[in-house]
Amino acid sequence: MHPRALRLGASVVAALVVVGGALTTSPASAAVGDDDPTVGASAANGLVVNEVESNGDDTDWVELANTSSAAIDLSGYAFLDDDSSHEAYVLPTGSTIAAGGYFVIDQLSATAPGFDFGLGGADTVRVYDPAGDLVLRYAWTAHAAVTYGRCPDGTGALVDTTASTKGAANDCSSPVRINEVESDGGTPGDWVELTNTGTTTVDLGGYVFSDSDDAHAYAIPSGTSVAPGGFTVLDEQDFGFGLGKADSARLLDPRGTLVDSYSWTAHAATTYGRNPDGTGAFAETAAPTKGAANRFAGVVTAEAWPGGPDERVLDDEDTFTGDLSGIDWTPSASASTPASAAGQLWAVQNGDGLLYHLTSDGAGGWAPTNAAGTELHYADGSGTPDAEGVTVTSDDPGAVYVSTERNNDVSGTSRPAVLRFATTDGSQTTLNATDEWNLAADFPGLGANAGLEGVTWIPDSWLTAHGFADEHTGAAYSPATYAGHGDGLFFVGVEGTASVYAYALMSDGGSQRVATIATPFSVVADVQFDPTLDALWVVCDDACSGRTALYEVTDGAFAATTVYGAPTNADRALANEGFAISGVCTEGARATFYADDNDTDGFSLRTGTYPCDSSTPGDGGTTPTPTPTPGDGGTPGHGGTTPTPTPGGGSTPAPGGTAPGGTAPGGTAPGGSAPGSGTSPSGSPVAPPEASLTQANRGSLTAPATARPGDTITVGVGTRYAGQQVLVWMFSTPTLLGTATVAADGTVTATIPADAPAGQHRIVVTAEDGTVLGWTTITIDPVTGALAFTGAEGLGVAALAAFLLLVAGAGVLVLRRRRGTPASE
């Protein structure tokens, strides 16, 4: 996701230089690139390095602040990291930073200019004035857990911040928050639960807890702490006073500064808690969860990881060079030895487009059989695919499929694609793609660094057996609809939309989206089909503190049934962009595998465990299903010689539930059957007729006035419908957004399809029998990119238009799908 050095094609650089004079070259006398370690992170004119993001999920960036009383013209200033061979990024004419303001120097993206290299774990930011003199310099030896920022803002030392605040004042506050309050009849009495939204453990010694009465003050004893994402409970028997019917809970740090507070006017029937934990607003919970994650009606809540508490390093130091992103487990051809019984792994590295094939040593270690990796290229032998995810399929045993975000040789242009490479063991030095399915047309405006992060394959036999619905046809999924697609569908996780999409990839290079699956995460880092659990894993990385979710088919659509936190002792800051799980159950556990994009401490591959029952047929067992015998190596639709294996029945993870907010994820796919007149004879929901949307039922529900494609919105239906099942639609063309159980506060959530056209639409909610409960209007805004330099005047209108035309032209070029001849094996 974050190559250490993003490369920009010379043609794009040249074009940017001439766009309306937007970029200014350095003076001939400039000494940009010269270094001087004595230069600090503040300049005499009041310009300072204020915040640094070197491990962002979208782009790396540096924020400058102006601590002076006058604006500073930054036109012609140049920016570099610690590598003087990189081309310096020169700030455009008109770049200014206001007195007391902020200015962000951002990384290049598909929608905005910026520097075309990455910031590493040990790196330096250097800023030069137009004369070429080094005026600002800041170095670090490891990525910040969040960002490096000045505390106090603008003047203090650069430290690890509590939250990223790009283009705004730094967050130097305590990350401790009041998370849940029991004020009536708790066990053994009233209590308050604290949580830590930060990335390091906080010592609570000296913090003070109080209610609304200043005379009630409890000094938390030394030695009390709260771990990142953890919970610490203060009991009435310790703080010595009760919480009233109308009262407050207040937390002050050792300096007496108010850290957090919450007030209420009546006891909760259960407890009051934040939704989501640590960051959300307080609401009445579904049940008290003292010392654990909060639970709310209609919301899937993160549970503790049920497997082992650790993620253990598997690879030798510096086995990989960083940027290991996707990983997939598959059985070995035989299980004659302990090593072969453990299966095999495929992994991809995104920055340099490498494919690795790994095997077990039978003693707990894993290593690549192709130590240097196999270089991947596009069909014509050119380019460096930004390889993010990898999977193998049963219907095409002679191939590996890789999901990509872009061509790293043209790093500013989005190219979300699935590529096929003909190999059985990765023994080739280089491989050219035999096929490419470019999905760019389905994701207009998608950032170059926001594309396909993960990919997995699910057999048609499994999908039809589980009643999977096809959003494209509006009926039960029928494989015969998509001639030449092979024997299964590819599911891809898209970073920029935080959603998963199912595709039929045809042998002629065409594709069709079959399902859209919303997720509770801010980022989708990987997806993995698990036939043992009859479920789909959806994975978030450090952006969600290492959480994962299990999705099962419910009423035709994949819905989240369980969300897990990271293993207890795992480093939540690890950029685990790849996830795989073994199908082999040994001594009650299956191995899980994690690929760390940051190569933290020189290690990229780690393993953990997930529980299983080796005595239960279909639950992994001890004998893996053999890998299909390599056949004709055909593309999807060409068959292969081995039929799709029947997935194991397995045990379904518990507890079950609905998707976040009660919404069954799905784009335009019918969510399954609903009884009564609101369904078709086949059981699929039927949209209400437009004539039923009258002024009489308009306005009886609430929704945001505007939204963007891919946004999740909250729709207010009314507390009188709490607990009832409803359907949420979007018109003009009737599109089912999902089914939902109305929460206690009278709301449901729904996700706007990523391909929703811009303009005015109507959000309609119906009962299960098709009765319209209400509707309201919503405007879908077009997907646009924002300029990267906060606090500056930015590009002029003419220059901006020219720049966007340039990007659009580049985007048109990558829409052509190319198919080459199979690579030599």
The pLDDT score that the predictor gives to residue 56 is 65
The pLDDT score that the predictor gives to residue 532 is 95
Per-residue pLDDT band for 642 (boundaries 50, 70, 90) equals very low
Residue 7 has pLDDT above 50, yes or no: no
Q: Is 558 exposed, middle or buried (0-12, 13-18, 19+ CB in 10 A)?
A: buried
How far is Cα 577 from Cα 543, in angstroms, rounded to an integer? 10
Percent of the chain with pLDDT over 90: 55
Residue 8 has pLDDT above 50, yes or no: no
What is the rounded average pLDDT of the residues 669-689?
50
Q: What are the tens digits of pLDDT across the range 212-221? A: 999 999 999 9
What is the rounded average pLDDT of the residues 318-339?
85
Q: What are the tens digits of pLDDT across the range 577-606? A: 999 999 999 889 999 999 999 888 889 999
Residue 660 has pLDDT above 80, yes or no: no
How far is Cα 265 from Cα 244, in angstroms, rounded to an integer? 9
Token code pair at residue 504: 């039929």
Per-residue pLDDT band for 400 (boundaries 50, 70, 90) equals very high
Residue 814 has pLDDT above 90, yes or no: no
The pLDDT score that the predictor gives to residue 110 is 61
The DSSP result for 501-545, as a single string, is EEEEE-TTS-EEEEEEEE-SSS---EEEEETTTTEEEEE--GGGT
Highest average pLDDT, of 193-197, 456-460, 697-701, comes from 456-460
Q: How far is CA 225 from the centre of its chain?
A: 29
Token code pair at residue 605: 């591959």
Residue 274 has pLDDT above 60, yes or no: yes
What is the rounded average pLDDT of the residues 757-764?
86
The set of residues, in sequence order, having a beta carbon less than 8 Å from that of 644 and lying 6+ positions away, is: 394, 395, 459, 460, 461, 487, 488
Of 323-332, 398-407, 625-634, 746-755, give the lowest mean pLDDT range: 625-634
What is the rounded average pLDDT of the residues 30-41?
90
Per-residue pLDDT band for 115 (boundaries 50, 70, 90) equals very high
The pLDDT score that the predictor gives to residue 335 is 66
> What's phi and psi for 313, nearest 5 deg?
-65, 135
The pLDDT score that the predictor gives to residue 23 is 39
- Average pLDDT score, the chain: 82
Residue 165 has pLDDT above 70, yes or no: yes
Residue 21 has pLDDT above 60, yes or no: no
Q: What are the tens digits of pLDDT across the range 166-202? A: 999 998 889 999 999 999 989 899 999 999 987 678 9
**β-strand pairing of 414-422 with 399-407:** antiparallel
